[in-house]
C-alpha cells in the first residue's frame, strides 16, 4: 500500500488518462463543439484535483524497487508540471473543441501521456526509469505539435504545424540517440544505473564523455543553445495553446532532470560539466536575447526569449548547490506562470486567425484592457522588473550563481537582460502605444482561457509582491534533493 | 524704538507692500491702490531711516540684530539681519528719500500708463526699495550680496518695463547679463573670504595676498554694478527704462551700490593697496572716458547716463585713493543732483515726448520749475562753488592729488571741465535758445506731483554741501573746508566749462560739432566696446554652445545610438543562422555534441 | 497611523492607483479626485514627517520593518533620516502639482493617473527604504512607468539626420516619442544593471546575510572591491542623475514627455539618481569614494558647464529646460563630490530646489505649449501681454535657476560652491559659477523671446493665462521656491544632521 | 573482439548515422540515419552488458529499442504528413519558417 501512496501522482495522472479514454470512447460520437468542451473541463478538473491533493497527500518514500522517490522535491516539480498542464488545458480547451470537435480525446490523451512522463521524471532515481519517463514525455509532444495540421495561416497558406513538428522531431530524435549513446557509456563505465550508484562511481574518461552527451540530450529538451534551433520554428508553427504548454512544462521536467542527474547524481564531477554548462548558459542568454531583437512574430519572439530565459536558469543549476537548485525551482515556477500566461494572451489577442504578428497587438489596450494589462504583467515579469515574480526569479538565480563564484556569467546575464527589455518593450509599444482607431474587432477570451490568464496574472503579481512562501517551499524541496535526509538513499 | 528696530522697519514696510501687491493681483491691476501702498511704504521707510539717522548722529555706536540663516555641521555659516551704523544711516536716508521723491514724481510721469502697468510699476518699486534696503542694512557681505543681486533683478524688471519694445527688452537682458557676469567676482570673493576668515564679515584680517585676491574679486563686481570701464556698456542702454527709474536706479542708488560695497568693505580694501591702485586708475580713466562720450550724446538721458559713469569713476577713484569719506560723500550729493537732473529731464521729455536735446529748446521759459531744477542740478554736477557737488568733488580731488604722479588727479580735473562743458551744452541747447519744434513750443509745466520732488531734490542738490560736516561726524572724522589752490582750480574749470559751452553752442544752434568733438563722435559711434562683447557673445559663447549642442546630439548621443544600432543590426544579421532547414538545426546540435566530446577528451 | 506614517506615504499613491484602476474610464472627475487625494495624503504625510523629525536626535527615525523574503535577509525597512523629510516633501509637492497640472488631460486619463501614481509610490519608497534591495525595487518601479508615460502621452519632434552616425536613422527615428521612451528606459536600465551587479557584490562580500543599509555600511569591504564597485554605483545611479556622458536620455526624454511626467522626472526622478550615488555609493564605499571622487567632481563640473552651453543653443523650449536639468544636476553631483558638510547640504538642498524649480518650469512649458501649439521659441514672442501670470512665474523659475538670492536655487548653489571652495576644489567651483552665469544667459534669452517683445501674432489666438487648477500647481511650486529661498533652514536644519551623519562614516573611513 | 573494439564499432556506426542525418535530404533516409545512431547506442549497451556482466546492459537495450521504435513510428507519420502537404518528402520543402 505504501508503494501506491508514494506513486500516487503518476497513478492519478494515468488514471485520469484512462478515464478520458473511456469517456471519449463511450460518449456518443456526434458531439458539437459546445458539448465537446466537457472533456476538456474533465481533464482540467482532474488536474486541479491532483494539484489540490498534492497539498494533502504525503507521498514521501521510495517505491518501485527504489527507483522512484516521492519526497518534497518530487512533489514540488510535480505541482509545477501539473499546474502547467492545468493552465495549458484551460487555455487549449476551446481551441481543441473548435478545431477537432470529434477527436478531442486524442489531444487530451496525448497531453496526459506526456504529463505522466513529466510527473515520473522528478521522482526517478534510476536511469532506466528516467529515460523511459523522459521519452514518454517527449514522444507525445511530437504528435501534439502537429496537431494543428489542418489549419490555415492568416495569409491563407497551409498549416505549418507539420513542419513545426518535424523540426521538433528531427532535432529531438537525434538528441535522443545522443542521449542513449551517452547513457550507454555512463552506465556501462559505472556499472550501475541508479543515481546514488553513479555518485559513488569513480570518474573515467568514457564516463565523462557519456555524461556530457547526456547533457546535450537534456539541453535539447530545454532549448539550450546550440540545441535550440527548433524552438522558434516549432513555436511559430504549432497551435498556440499547445505551445504555451510546450514552452514551459518540458522545460520544468528537463531542468529537473538536469538537477537530478548533475547536481544530485554527478555533483562530484562538477569540474567536468560546469564549464560547458556555463558556456551554454552564456550562449543561450546571448543568442536568445540577440535573435529576439528583430522578431516580429510574437511566438518566435517568445521562443527566443524562452531560450534566453533558459540561459538564466542554467546559471542557477551551474551554481550546483542547494541554493542553486532551490532558485532553479523558484525560477521555473515563475517561468511557468509567466511564459504560459504570455502565450495565452498572445493566443487570446490574436483570436480568430488574426495572426500573431506584433501588429496583431495594436490597440490592445482599447480593445481588451484586461488582456493588455495581463500582457504588461507577463512581459515585465519576463524582463525581470520588480513586483512581478520574474524579478525575484532572475534575482535569485543570479544571486545563487554569484554566490557560487560565477560572477562573470552573472554580469553578462545582467547586461544581456537589458537587451531583453528592448523587445519586451516593443511588444508593449504595439499593445499600448500604436492604435489604428476602431479597426480591429474586440478579442474575447473564453471563460476557460480567461480563467487561465487570470490565474497566471494572479500568480505573477501575487508572488511578485509576496515571494517568501514560494522561496521557502523551493528551498525545502531543494534540500530534499541535494542533501537527502532519508538514509534509504544509500543503498 | 531702538535703531535696529527702526532699520528693520525700513525692510518690513516695503516688504509688506511688495508681498501684498504680489499676492493680491486685484490691487495691482487697479493701479492707484498699488501706488498708494508703495508710497505709504516708502514714507514709513523714510521716516524710519531718518529716525535711524538722528539716532546715529546722537550715538554712532554700531548695533546689530541678526539671526542664523545658513547652518552646516551645526555651525552658523551666515546670518541675516540688520546693522545700524553711520554708513547705514546716511545711505538709508539717501535711498529712501530719493526713492520716495521718484515714486511721487512717477505718479505724474506714469499717469498715462494703463492701470495694470501702472500698478506693476509701483509693485516693482516696492520690491526695489526692499532690495536696496536689504543691501544697505546688511550685517555681512552675504546679505549685502543678496540685496545686490535683488536690486539687479528689479533693475532688470524696470529697464524692461516697456517689455513690448524690443530695444527695452534687449537692454534689460543686457544689463542683467553684464552685471551678473561681474557678480561672479562677488561670489568668488565671498567664498575666498569665507574660506580664509570663516565668516562673511568685512572686518577680517587677511594675509596680504588673500586680501588682494578678495578685494580684486569684489571690485570686479563693483566694476559691473557701478558701470566702470569696460563693463559700463549696459548703463547707457538701461535708459530704455522709464525716466524716473533711470533717476532712482541708474543714477542715484543702485549703481552706487558698488561704491557702497567698497565703503562697507573698507577694512578689507585697506589691507590691499594693489587693489586700491587698480581702483584709482580705473576710476579716473572711466571718469575721463565717460565724460568724453557724454560730450557727443544728443539724447538727454544718454548724456546723463555717461555722466553717471563718469561720476561713479570719481567715487571709485576716491576710494582707490583711500578716501572713504570722499567717495561716499560724493555718492550722497550725486544721488541728489543726479536724481534731480534725471527727474527734470524726465519732466522735459514728458513735455516734448522726445529724448533728443535737438527737439527741445527754450524749455526754461515755458517750464520754469523744471528748467530751474535742471540748471541747479547741472551746476551741482559741474561742481560750481557753493553747490553740493563742489564740496564732494573737492574731497575727491584732494584725496587723489599726488597719487601716481598726479595723473589721476589731472584726469579728474579734466573731467571736471568736460562735465561742465557737456552739462552746459544740454542746458544751453535744451533749456535756452529758441524752441526747435512744435512740441517744444507747446511744452508746459507738469502737475504738482512732478514739481514737488524737483523742488525738494533741487534744494538738497544746491545745499547738500552743508551735510559734509555731520556726514564726517558719522564716521568720527572732522571736516574742514578751505578754498585753497585745488578747489579754486576746480571751480575755475567748472565755470570755464560752462562758459565754453555757451560760446560753442549758445549762438550757432544746429551748427556742426567742432572738429575735436566730431572726432570723439566718430569714435563713439563705432561703439567699439560693445562690438567686442557682441563678438564675444556671438562668435565665442554662442558658437561654443552651438558646437557643444551639435556634439551632444550627433556625437555623444550618436555613440549611444550607434550602440543601439549595432545591437539591432547584429540581431538582424544573426538571424540568417536560422536557415529553416532541419539538417542545419541538427548540425548545430551535433556541433554542440562534438564540442562536448572534445571537451571531455581534452580536459 | 503615526507609527506607520512612512508606509502611508509610500502606500497612499499606490492605493489611489488601485482605486483609479477600478473606476470606470468615464468617471473623469472621480479619477482626478482620487489621484489628487492620494497625492495629497502623501504630501500631508511628508509634511508631518518633516515636522516630526527630531533634528536634535538626528539619525534614523520612524523605523518600520516588515519581512519580505526573510530567507535572504530582504526586509521592507522604512525609516527617515535627515535627508528623507525634505525629499519626501519635494516629491509630495511635485506630485500634487503634477496632478493639478494634468487636470485637463484629454487622452486615456485613467491609465495616465494610474501610472503616475505608481511611479510616485516608487519614488517615495526609495527615499525611505533602508534595505538596499527594497531601495532598488522601488527605484525600478519609479523608472519604468516612464516608458509608457512618454510613449503614449508624449510628443514627437523632428531631428535632422546628420553627423558621423547619420545612418542610425535607418533603424530608428531619433526624436520620435517612442524612440525617446525606449532610449530613456534602456539607458536607465543599463544603469540599474550596473547597480544590481554592485549590490550583489556588496551583499555577498559583507557576509551579513542582510540587505540592511546599516549592516552593509558596517561591513568592511576590500579596497579593490570598493574601487571596482563605486563606479558601477556612480554611473548606474548617475545615469538617472544625468551624469555626463550618460545624460542623453534626458533631453529627448524630457522634451517628449507630457507635462506632469517631465515635472516628475526632472523634478524628482533625477534626484533618485543623485540620492543613490550619495546614500548608497558614497556611504557604503568610503575608500572607493575617496579614490574616485576627483573624477566624480570633474565630471560634475563638466556637467554644469556643458549642460548650460547645450541649453543655450536650443531652440525648443523643452530642450532648454531639459538641458538646464542636466546642468543643475551637475551642481548636485558637484556638491556630493566635495565630501564636505556644506557641499552635501547644498547637494541635498539643490535636489529639492531644482526639483521645485524644474517642476515649475515644466508646468509652465506645458501651459505655453498647450496654448501656443508650438515649442519653437523663434515663433513665439510677446506672450507676456496675454499670459502675465505665466510670464511672472516663468521669470521666477528663471531667477531660481540662475541662483538668485531669495530663491531656493541660491542657497543650494552657494552651499555647493562653498563646499567646493572649502575643499580646495577651485577647478570644480569655477566652472560651477560660470555655469550659473551661462544659465543666466539662456534663461533670460528665452524669457525675452517668449514673453517680451511685440506680439503675440494672430497665429496664437488660443493663448490664455493659467486656469483654476493650473494656478494651484504654479502657486504651490512658486511659493516653495520663494519660501525656501528666504528661510532655507526649514529644510537645512533636518538635512544637516543627515549629511553630518552620513559624512562622518566616510571621513572616518578615509582618515583611517 | 574486445570491449574497446565494440565501442569503436559503435562509435563508427554512430558517425555513419550522423553523416546520413546531416547529408541526406529525403526524410525517410533521415529517419533511417537516426535509427542507425540509436542502434549504435544499443550496441554499446549490449557490449557493456556482455563484457562487464550483469543484466543492466541488456535491460537498457530492450527499453532503448522500444523507445526508438515508438519514436520512428511518429517520425514516419510526420513524414507522411509532410509528403501529403508538399507532394514530396524532401527536407528542404519543410523550411517555410526561418530566421
Q: What is the pLDDT of residues C262-286, one digit of tens each?
A: 999 999 999 999 999 999 999 999 9
Calpha distance B138→B141 (Å, rounded): 7
Over residues C98-131, the pLDDT tens digits come to: 999 888 888 888 999 999 999 999 999 999 999 9
ipTM for the predicted complex: 0.90
Over residues B458-486, the pLDDT tens digits come to: 999 998 888 888 888 888 777 888 777 88
Contacts B600 to D, Cβ<8 Å: none
Write the DSSP symbol of residue A71.
Answer: S
b/e map A155-169, b = 16+ CB within 10 Å: eeeebbbbbbbbbbb
C21: distance to nearest CA of chain B, Å?
35
Write the DSSP symbol of residue D71.
Answer: H
Are B578 and D30 a contacting pair at CB < 8 A?
no
Which chains have 3 or more CB–CB distances shorter than 8 Å to chain B? A, C, D
Q: CB-hemisphere CA count at 13 Å for A42?
A: 21
- Asked if pLDDT for residue A352 goes beyond 60, the answer is no
Average model confidence (pLDDT) across chain B? 89
Kind of pairing between the strands at B75-84 and B63-72 = antiparallel
Can you read off the three cell numbers belonging to residue C196? 544590481
* Confidence class for position C207, pLDDT limits 50, 70, 90: confident
Of C165, C310, C382, the CB nearest to B164: C382
Average model confidence (pLDDT) across chain D? 90
Write the DSSP symbol of residue C68.
Answer: E
Residue with cell 492707484: B32
Q: Does D59 touch chain A (CB under 8 A)?
A: yes
Of B153, B188, B559, the CB nearest to C399: B153
Contacts A165 to D, Cβ<8 Å: 78, 81
Query: So what's the pLDDT on residue D67?
Result: 93
Calpha distance B351→B109 (Å, rounded): 10
- Asked if pLDDT for residue B33 goes beyond 80, the answer is yes
Residue with cell 543549476: A317
Give the whole-number percent of chain C exceeding pLDDT 70.
Answer: 100
Give the whole-number percent of chain B exceeding pLDDT 90.
Answer: 57
- Asked if pLDDT for residue A41 goes beyond 60, the answer is yes
Residue of B24, B553, B565 to mutate, testing the C interface (most C Cβ within 10 Å of its Cβ): B553
For chain D, give percent helix, strand, coil, nearest 5.
80, 0, 15
**Mean pLDDT confidence for B492-513:** 79
Over residues A457-469, the pLDDT tens digits come to: 999 999 999 999 9
Calpha distance C426→B124 (Å, rounded): 37
* Residue D15 lies in domain: 3-97
Sorted by where each begins, the domain ranges of chain A are 2-151+158-482
Query: So what's the pLDDT on residue A257?
Result: 92
**Mean pLDDT confidence for D32-59:** 90
Q: What predicted TM-score, i.e. pTM, was given to this entire model? A: 0.92
**Mean pLDDT confidence for C31-58:** 92
Can you read off the three cell numbers belonging to residue B404? 601716481
**Mean pLDDT confidence for C149-166:** 88
Over residues C433-443, the pLDDT tens digits come to: 999 999 999 99
Give the whole-number percent of chain A exceeding pLDDT 70.
Answer: 93
B578/A491: higher pLDDT: B578
Calpha distance B429→B345 (Å, rounded): 13
C331/A445: higher pLDDT: C331
**Mean pLDDT confidence for D44-55:** 88
A248-252, A353-357, C469-473, D42-46: lowest mean pLDDT where? A353-357
**B–C: how many Cβ contacts below 8 A?**
172
> Residue D73's domain is classified under what CATH number?
1.10.287.3510
Query: So what's the pLDDT on residue C155?
Result: 87
Q: What is the CA radius of gyration of chain A?
A: 21
Calpha distance C453→C460 (Å, rounded): 15
Q: Does C127 touch chain B (CB under 8 A)?
A: no
Average model confidence (pLDDT) across chain C? 91
Q: Does C59 touch chain B (CB under 8 A)?
A: no
Q: Does B599 touch chain A (CB under 8 A)?
A: yes
Query: So what's the pLDDT on residue A154?
Result: 60
Query: So what's the pLDDT on residue A1?
Result: 61
- Asked if pLDDT for residue A308 goes beyond 90, the answer is yes
- Asked if pLDDT for residue C431 goes beyond 50, the answer is yes
* Contact: chain A with chain B (3+ CB pairs below 8 Å): yes
Over residues B552-568, the pLDDT tens digits come to: 999 999 999 999 999 99
Can you read off the three cell numbers belonging to residue D24? 541526406
Contacts D94 to B, Cβ<8 Å: 582
Write the DSSP symbol of residue B513.
Answer: P
Calpha distance A174→A324 (Å, rounded): 30
Are B568 and A293 a contacting pair at CB < 8 A?
yes
- Asked if pLDDT for residue A485 goes beyond 60, the answer is no
A25-34, B269-278, C36-45, C353-362: lowest mean pLDDT where? A25-34
Give burial (CB, 10 Å; 0-12/13-18/19+) of B407.
Answer: middle
State which H helix or E strand residue B536 sits in: none
Are A180 and D64 a contacting pair at CB < 8 A?
yes
Contact yes or no for C313/C369 (Cβ under 8 A): no
Q: Does B572 touch chain A (CB under 8 A)?
A: yes
Contacts A148 to D, Cβ<8 Å: none
Q: Which residue of C has its CA nearest to A410?
A: C197
Indicate the SS3 state at residue B517: helix
Query: So what's the pLDDT on residue A486?
Result: 34
Query: So what's the pLDDT on residue A491?
Result: 26
Domain count, chain D: 1
Are B173 and C445 a contacting pair at CB < 8 A?
yes
Calpha distance A445→A369 (Å, rounded): 12
Q: Which residue of C has its CA nearest to A417?
A: C193
Q: To 5 degrees, how large is the angle CA D34–CA D38–CA D41?
A: 150
Calpha distance A405→C343 (Å, rounded): 39
- Closest listed residue to residue D7, CA positions, set D35, D48, D36: D48
- Asked if pLDDT for residue A301 goes beyond 80, the answer is yes
* Confidence class for position A489, pLDDT limits 50, 70, 90: very low
Over residues A177-220, the pLDDT tens digits come to: 999 999 999 998 888 888 888 888 888 888 889 989 999 889 99
Of B580, B586, B591, the CB nearest to A170: B586
Calpha distance D4→D26 (Å, rounded): 34
Q: Which residues pair with C131 in a beta bridge?
A: C212
Average model confidence (pLDDT) across chain A? 88
- Asked if pLDDT for residue C42 goes beyond 90, the answer is yes
- Asked if pLDDT for residue C392 goes beyond 80, the answer is yes
For the range A34-37, what are the long-range contacts, defined as Cβ-Cβ under 8 Å and sequence gap of 24 or more?
A34/A97, A36/A97, A36/A101, A36/A102, A36/A104, A37/A93, A37/A94, A37/A97, A37/A448
Are A233 and D98 a contacting pair at CB < 8 A?
yes
C331: distance to nearest CA of chain B, Å?
16
Over residues A105-161, the pLDDT tens digits come to: 889 999 999 999 999 999 999 999 999 999 999 999 999 999 888 776 666 667 888
Contacts B587 to D, Cβ<8 Å: 22
Contacts B156 to C, Cβ<8 Å: 444
A172: distance to nearest CA of chain B, Å?
9
Give the whole-number percent of chain B exceeding pLDDT 70.
Answer: 99
Amino acid at each position: 500500500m505504501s508503494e501506491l501512496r508514494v506513486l500516487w501522482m503518476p497513478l492519478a495522472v494515468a488514471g485520469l488518462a484512462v478515464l478520458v479514454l473511456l469517456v471519449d470512447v463511450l460518449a456518443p460520437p456526434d458531439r458539437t463543439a459546445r458539448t465537446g468542451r466537457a472533456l476538456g473541463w474533465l481533464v482540467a478538473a482532474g488536474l486541479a484535483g491532483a494539484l489540490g491533493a498534492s497539498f494533502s497527500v504525503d507521498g514521501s518514500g521510495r517505491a518501485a524497487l527504489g527507483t522512484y522517490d516521492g519526497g518534497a522535491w518530487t512533489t514540488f516539480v510535480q505541482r509545477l508540471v501539473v499546474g502547467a498542464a492545468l493552465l495549458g488545458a484551460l487555455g487549449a480547451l476551446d481551441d481543441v473543441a473548435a478545431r477537432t470537435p470529434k477527436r478531442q480525446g486524442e489531444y487530451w490523451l496525448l497531453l496526459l501521456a506526456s504529463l505522466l512522463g513529466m510527473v515520473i521524471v522528478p521522482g526517478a532515481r534510476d536511469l532506466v526509469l528516467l529515460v523511459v519517463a523522459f521519452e514518454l514525455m517527449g514522444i507525445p509532444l511530437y504528435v501534439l505539435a502537429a496537431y494543428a495540421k489542418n489549419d490555415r495561416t492568416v495569409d491563407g497558406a497551409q498549416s505549418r504545424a507539420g513542419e513545426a513538428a518535424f523540426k521538433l522531431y528531427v532535432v529531438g530524435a537525434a538528441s535522443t540517440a545522443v542521449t542513449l549513446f551517452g547513457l550507454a557509456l555512463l552506465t556501462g563505465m559505472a556499472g550501475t544505473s541508479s543515481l546514488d550508484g553513479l555518485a559513488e562511481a569513480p570518474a573515467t574518461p568514457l564516463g565523462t564523455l557519456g555524461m556530457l552527451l547526456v547533457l546535450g540530450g537534456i539541453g535539447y529538451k530545454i532549448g539550450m543553445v546550440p540545441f535550440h534551433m527548433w524552438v522558434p520554428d516549432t513555436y511559430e508553427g504549432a497551435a498556440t495553446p499547445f505551445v504555451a504548454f510546450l514552452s514551459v512544462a518540458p522545460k520544468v521536467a528537463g531542468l529537473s532532470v538536469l538537477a537530478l542527474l548533475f547536481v544530485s547524481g554527478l555533483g562530484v564531477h562538477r569540474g567536468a560539466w560546469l564549464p560547458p554548462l556555463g558556456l551554454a548558459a552564456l550562449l543561450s542568454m546571448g543568442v536568445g536575447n540577440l535573435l529576439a531583437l528583430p522578431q516580429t512574430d510574437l511566438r518566435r519572439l517568445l521562443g527566443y526569449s524562452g531560450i534566453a530565459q533558459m540561459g538564466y536558469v542554467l546559471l542557477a543549476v551551474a551554481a550546483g548547490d542547494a541554493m542553486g537548485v532551490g532558485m532553479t525551482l523558484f525560477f521555473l515556477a515563475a517561468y511557468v506562470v509567466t511564459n504560459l500566461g504570455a502565450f495565452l494572451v498572445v493566443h487570446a489577442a490574436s483570436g480568430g486567425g488574426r495572426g500573431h504578428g506584433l501588429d496583431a497587438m495594436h490597440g490592445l489596450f482599447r480593445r481588451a484592457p484586461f488582456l493588455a494589462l495581463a500582457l504588461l504583467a507577463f512581459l515585465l515579469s519576463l524582463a525581470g522588473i520588480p513586483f512581478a515574480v520574474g524579478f525575484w526569479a532572475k534575482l535569485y538565480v543570479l544571486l545563487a550563481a554569484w554566490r557560487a563564484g560565477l560572477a562573470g556569467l552573472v554580469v553578462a546575464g545582467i547586461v544581456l537582460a537589458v537587451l531583453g527589455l528592448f523587445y519586451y518593450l516593443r511588444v508593449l509599444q504595439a499593445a499600448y502605444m500604436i492604435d489604428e482607431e476602431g479597426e480591429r474587432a474586440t478579442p474575447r477570451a473564453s471563460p476557460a482561457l480567461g480563467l487561465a490568464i487570470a490565474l497566471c496574472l494572479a500568480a505573477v503579481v501575487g508572488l511578485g509582491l509576496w515571494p517568501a512562501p514560494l522561496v521557502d517551499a523551493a528551498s525545502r524541496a531543494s534540500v530534499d534533493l541535494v542533501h537527502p535526509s532519508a538514509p534509504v538513499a544509500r543503498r | 524704538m531702538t535703531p535696529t528696530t527702526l532699520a528693520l522697519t525700513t525692510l518690513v514696510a516695503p516688504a509688506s507692500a511688495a508681498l501684498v501687491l504680489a499676492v493680491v493681483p486685484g490691487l495691482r491691476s487697479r493701479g492707484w491702490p498699488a501706488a498708494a501702498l508703495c508710497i505709504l511704504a516708502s514714507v514709513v521707510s523714510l521716516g524710519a531711516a531718518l529716525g535711524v539717522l538722528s539716532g546715529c548722529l546722537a550715538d554712532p555706536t554700531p548695533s546689530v540684530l541678526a539671526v542664523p540663516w545658513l547652518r552646516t555641521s551645526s555651525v552658523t555659516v551666515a546670518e541675516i539681519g540688520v546693522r545700524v551704523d553711520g554708513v547705514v544711516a546716511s545711505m538709508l536716508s539717501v535711498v529712501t528719500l530719493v526713492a520716495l521723491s521718484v515714486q511721487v514724481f512717477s505718479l505724474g510721469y506714469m499717469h498715462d500708463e494703463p492701470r495694470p502697468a501702472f500698478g506693476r510699476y509701483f509693485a516693482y518699486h516696492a520690491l526695489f526699495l526692499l532690495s536696496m534696503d536689504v543691501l544697505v542694512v546688511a550685517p555681512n557681505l552675504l546679505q549685502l550680496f543678496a540685496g545686490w543681486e535683488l536690486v539687479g533683478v528689479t533693475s532688470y524688471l524696470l529697464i524692461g518695463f516697456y517689455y513690448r519694445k524690443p530695444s527695452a527688452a534687449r537692454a534689460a537682458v543686457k544689463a542683467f547679463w553684464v552685471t551678473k557676469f561681474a557678480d561672479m567676482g562677488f561670489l568668488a570673493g565671498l567664498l575666498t573670504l569665507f574660506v580664509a576668515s570663516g565668516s562673511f564679515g568685512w572686518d577680517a584680517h587677511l594675509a596680504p595676498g588673500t586680501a588682494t585676491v578678495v578685494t580684486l574679486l569684489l571690485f570686479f563686481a563693483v566694476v559691473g554694478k557701478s558701470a566702470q570701464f569696460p563693463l559700463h556698456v549696459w548703463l547707457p542702454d538701461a535708459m530704455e527704462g522709464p525716466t524716473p527709474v533711470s533717476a532712482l536706479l541708474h543714477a542715484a542708488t543702485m549703481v552706487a551700490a558698488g561704491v557702497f560695497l567698497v565703503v562697507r568693505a573698507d577694512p578689507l580694501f585697506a589691507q590691499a593697496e594693489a587693489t586700491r591702485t587698480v581702483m584709482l586708475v580705473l576710476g579716473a580713466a572711466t571718469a575721463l572716458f565717460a565724460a568724453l562720450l557724454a560730450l557727443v550724446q544728443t539724447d538727454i538721458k544718454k548724456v546723463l547716463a555717461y555722466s553717471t559713469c563718469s561720476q561713479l569713476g570719481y567715487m571709485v577713484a576716491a576710494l582707490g585713493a583711500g578716501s572713504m569719506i570722499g567717495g561716499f560723500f560724493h555718492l550722497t550729493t550725486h544721488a541728489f543732483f543726479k536724481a534731480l537732473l534725471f527727474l527734470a529731464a524726465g519732466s522735459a521729455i514728458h513735455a516734448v515726448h522726445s529724448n533728443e536735446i535737438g527737439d527741445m529748446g527754450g524749455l526754461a521759459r515755458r517750464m520754469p520749475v523744471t528748467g530751474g531744477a535742471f540748471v541747479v542740478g547741472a551746476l551741482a554736477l559741474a561742481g560750481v562753488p557753493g553747490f553740493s557737488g563742489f564740496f564732494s568733488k573737492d574731497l575727491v580731488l584732494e584725496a587723489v592729488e599726488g597719487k601716481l604722479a598726479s595723473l589721476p588727479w589731472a584726469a579728474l580735473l579734466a573731467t571736471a571741465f568736460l562735465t561742465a562743458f557737456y552739462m552746459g551744452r544740454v542746458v544751453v541747447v535744451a533749456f535756452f535758445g529758441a524752441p526747435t519744434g512744435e512740441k517744444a513750443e507747446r511744452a508746459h509745466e507738469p502737475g504738482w506731483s512732478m514739481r514737488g520732488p524737483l523742488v525738494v531734490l533741487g534744494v538738497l542738490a544746491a545745499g547738500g554741501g552743508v551735510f559734509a560736516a555731520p556726514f564726517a561726524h558719522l564716521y568720527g572724522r572732522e571736516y574742514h573746508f578751505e578754498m585753497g589752490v585745488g578747489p579754486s582750480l576746480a571751480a575755475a574749470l567748472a565755470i570755464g566749462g560752462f562758459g565754453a559751452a555757451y560760446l560753442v553752442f549758445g549762438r550757432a544752434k544746429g551748427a556742426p560739432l567742432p572738429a575735436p568733438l566730431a572726432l570723439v563722435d566718430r569714435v563713439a559711434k563705432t561703439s567699439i566696446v560693445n562690438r567686442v562683447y557682441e563678438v564675444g557673445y556671438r562668435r565665442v559663447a554662442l558658437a561654443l554652445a552651438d558646437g557643444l549642442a551639435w556634439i551632444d546630439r550627433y556625437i555623444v548621443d550618436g555613440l549611444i545610438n550607434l550602440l543601439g544600432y549595432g545591437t539591432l543590426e547584429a540581431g538582424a544579421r544573426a538571424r540568417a543562422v536560422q536557415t529553416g532547414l532541419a539538417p542545419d538545426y541538427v548540425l548545430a546540435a551535433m556541433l554542440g555534441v562534438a564540442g562536448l566530446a572534445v571537451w571531455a577528451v581534452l580536459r | 497611523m503615526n507609527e506607520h506614517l512612512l508606509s502611508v506615504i509610500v502606500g497612499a499613491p499606490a492605493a489611489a492607483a488601485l482605486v483609479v484602476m477600478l473606476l470606470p474610464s468615464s468617471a473623469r472627475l472621480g479619477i482626478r479626485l482620487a489621484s489628487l487625494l492620494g497625492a495629497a495624503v502623501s504630501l500631508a504625510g511628508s509634511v508631518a514627517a518633516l515636522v516630526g523629525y527630531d533634528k536634535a536626535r538626528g539619525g534614523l527615525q520612524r523605523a518600520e520593518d516588515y519581512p519580505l523574503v526573510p530567507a535572504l535577509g530582504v526586509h521592507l525597512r522604512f525609516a527617515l533620516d535627515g535627508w528623507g523629510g525634505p525629499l519626501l516633501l519635494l516629491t509630495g509637492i511635485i506630485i500634487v502639482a503634477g496632478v493639478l497640472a494634468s487636470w485637463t488631460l484629454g487622452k486615456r486619463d485613467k491609465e495616465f493617473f494610474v501610472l503616475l501614481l505608481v511611479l510616485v509610490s516608487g519614488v517615495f519608497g526609495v527615499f525611505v527604504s533602508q534595505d538596499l534591495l527594497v531601495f532598488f525595487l522601488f527605484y525600478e518601479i519609479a523608472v519604468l512607468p516612464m516608458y509608457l508615460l512618454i510613449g503614449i502621452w508624449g510628443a514627437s519632434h523632428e531631428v535632422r539626420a546628420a553627423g558621423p552616425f547619420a545612418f542610425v536613422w535607418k533603424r530608428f527615428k531619433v526624436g520620435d516619442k517612442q524612440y525617446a521612451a525606449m532610449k530613456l528606459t534602456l539607458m536607465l536600465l543599463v544603469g540599474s544593471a550596473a547597480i544590481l551587479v554592485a549590490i550583489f557584490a556588496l551583499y555577498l562580500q559583507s557576509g551579513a546575510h542582510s540587505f540592511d543599509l546599516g549592516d552593509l555600511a558596517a561591513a568592511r569591504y576590500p579596497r579593490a572591491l570598493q574601487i571596482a564597485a563605486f563606479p558601477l554605483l556612480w554611473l548606474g545611479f548617475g545615469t538617472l542623475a544625468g551624469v555626463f556622458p550618460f545624460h542623453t536620455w534626458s533631453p529627448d526624454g524630457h522634451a517628449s514627455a507630457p507635462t506632469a511626467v517631465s515635472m516628475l522626472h526632472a523634478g524628482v526622478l533625477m534626484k533618485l539618481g543623485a540620492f543613490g550615488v550619495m546614500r548608497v555609493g558614497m556611504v557604503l564605499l568610503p575608500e572607493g569614494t575617496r579614490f574616485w571622487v576627483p573624477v566624480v567632481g570633474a565630471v560634475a563640473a563638466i556637467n554644469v558647464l556643458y549642460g548650460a552651453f547645450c541649453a543655450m543653443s536650443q531652440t525648443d523650449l523643452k530642450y532648454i529646460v531639459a538641458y538646464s536639468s542636466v546642468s543643475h544636476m551637475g551642481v548636485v553631483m558637484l556638491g556630493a563630490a566635495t565630501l564636505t558638510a556644506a557641499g552635501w547640504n547644498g547637494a541635498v538642498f539643490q535636489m529639492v530646489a531644482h526639483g521645485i524649480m524644474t517642476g515649475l518650469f515644466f508646468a509652465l512649458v506645458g501651459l505655453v505649449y498647450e496654448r501656443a501649439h508650438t515649442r519653437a521659441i523663434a515663433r513665439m514672442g510677446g506672450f507676456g501681454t496675454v499670459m502675465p501670470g505665466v510670464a511672472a512665474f516663468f521669470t521666477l523659475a528663471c531667477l531660481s535657476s540662475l541662483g538668485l538670492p531669495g530663491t531656493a536655487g541660491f542657497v543650494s548653489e552657494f552651499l555647493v560652491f562653498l563646499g567646493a571652495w572649502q575643499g580646495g576644489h577651485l577647478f570644480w567651483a569655477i566652472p560651477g559659477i560660470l555655469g550659473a552665469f551661462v544659465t543666466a544667459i539662456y534663461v533670460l534669452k528665452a524669457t525675452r523671446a517668449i514673453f517680451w517683445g511685440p506680439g503675440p501674432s494672430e497665429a496664437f489666438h488660443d493663448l490664455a493665462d493659467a486656469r483654476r487648477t493650473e494656478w494651484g500647481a504654479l502657486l504651490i511650486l512658486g511659493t516653495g521656491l520663494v519660501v525656501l529661498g528666504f528661510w532655507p533652514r526649514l529644510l537645512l536644519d533636518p538635512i544637516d544632521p543627515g549629511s553630518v551623519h552620513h559624512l562622518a562614516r566616510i571621513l572616518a573611513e578615509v582618515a583611517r | 573482439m574486445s570491449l574497446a573494439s565494440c565501442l569503436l564499432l559503435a562509435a563508427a556506426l554512430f558517425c555513419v548515422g550522423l553523416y546520413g542525418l546531416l547529408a541526406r535530404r529525403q526524410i525517410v533516409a533521415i529517419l533511417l540515419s537516426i535509427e542507425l545512431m540509436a542502434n549504435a547506442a544499443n550496441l554499446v549497451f549490449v557490449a557493456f552488458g556482455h563484457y562487464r556482466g550483469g543484466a543492466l546492459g541488456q535491460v537498457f537495450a530492450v527499453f532503448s529499442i522500444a523507445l526508438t521504435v515508438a519514436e520512428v513510428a511518429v517520425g514516419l507519420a510526420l513524414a507522411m504528413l509532410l509528403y501529403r502537404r508538399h507532394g514530396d518528402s524532401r527536407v528542404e520543402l519543410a523550411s517555410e519558417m526561418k530566421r
